[in-house]
């Protein structure tokens, strides 16, 4: 009887703890300006995390959760780690945790097959404005290369018509501009905006560092400029964009290098 009573007390304690964190998940998601589908994905990952906790948040319980993450694909692990780390930071800032805990951001390197999956990159739209965020959205929404971003001028962008003209050698391509990137450009443009989008000439190495710093701050360490361009390609294929049209959007001479994406 004593064993049964002890078990029931422990179960009630864990249950109460999980209910409390579930309420915090609701409050956490209410603060995020993301789509309903992204909120559902966050909620699913966070509730799964909470259900794995033995009534407390500490290094031991996080280690147990990380061991369970190994059962998932690297791309899924990355998404779950990002969601949990953002939630833990929220709890710490609210004073719900006396100590700041964080999951390791390292995960097994994905295989080529796993890299050709669409990732949840919604957190890239939520970070602080700056060259890192701007570059990430140019790649993710328009598929631009860092070298093309560095050469972009305000005169290449028509916010009224929602188009961007990208020059590459003697050729030019006109890309449709909308969504979060358009809103961001509207926010930073003023009557005096002229010359380069990034205000002055920078090196590609500088821009790569800006991208790396920004994605790291969004809990997506390991996501590179190349990975963002791949995500643009996969999203276009999911929309039904054909190989030749996608090659044109990317400024490629032929769709040969895109074959692996369409096969997958």
Between the CA of residue 136 and those of 15, 124, 193, 223, what are the distances in Å?
A: 41, 8, 21, 10
Q: From the candidates 56, 168, 176, 260, which is the catalytic residue?
A: 168
Lookup: tokens for 113: 């097959």
Task: Given the residues 78, 79, 133, 229, select the one marked as catalytic.
Answer: 229
32 is catalytic: no
Task: Please say if 168 is a catalytic residue.
Answer: yes
Decide if 143 contacts 249 (C-beta within 8 A). yes
Examine the residue annotation and report whether 261 is marked as an active-site residue of this protein.
yes
Residues with a catalytic annotation lie at: 168, 229, 261
């Amino acid at each position: 009887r004593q064993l049964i009573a002890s078990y029931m007390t422990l179960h009630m304690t864990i249950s109460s703890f999980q209910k409390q964190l579930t309420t915090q998940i609701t409050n956490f998601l209410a603060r995020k300006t993301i789509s309903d589908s992204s909120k559902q994905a966050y909620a699913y990952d966070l509730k799964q995390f909470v259900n794995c906790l033995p009534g407390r948040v500490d290094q031991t319980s996080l280690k147990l959760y990380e061991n369970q993450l190994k059962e998932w694909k690297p791309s899924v692990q990355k998404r779950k780690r990002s969601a949990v780390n953002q939630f833990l930071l929220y709890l710490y800032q609210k004073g719900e945790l006396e100590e700041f805990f964080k999951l390791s951001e390292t995960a097994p390197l994905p295989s080529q097959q796993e890299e050709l999956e669409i990732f949840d990159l919604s957190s890239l739209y939520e970070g602080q404005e700056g060259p890192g965020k701007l570059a990430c959205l140019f790649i993710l929404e328009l598929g631009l290369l860092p070298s093309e971003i560095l050469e972009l001028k305000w005169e290449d962008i028509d916010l009224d018509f929602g188009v961007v003209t990208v020059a590459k050698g003697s050729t030019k391509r006109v890309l449709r501009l909308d969504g979060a990137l358009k809103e961001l450009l509207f926010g930073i443009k003023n009557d005096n905006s002229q010359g380069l989008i990034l205000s002055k000439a920078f090196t590609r190495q500088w821009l790569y560092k800006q991208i790396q710093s920004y994605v790291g701050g969004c809990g997506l360490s390991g996501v590179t400029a190349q990975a963002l361009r791949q995500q643009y390609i996969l999203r276009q294929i999911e929309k039904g964009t054909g190989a030749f049209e996608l090659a044109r959007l990317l400024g490629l001479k032929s769709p040969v290098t895109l074959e692996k994406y369409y096969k997958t």
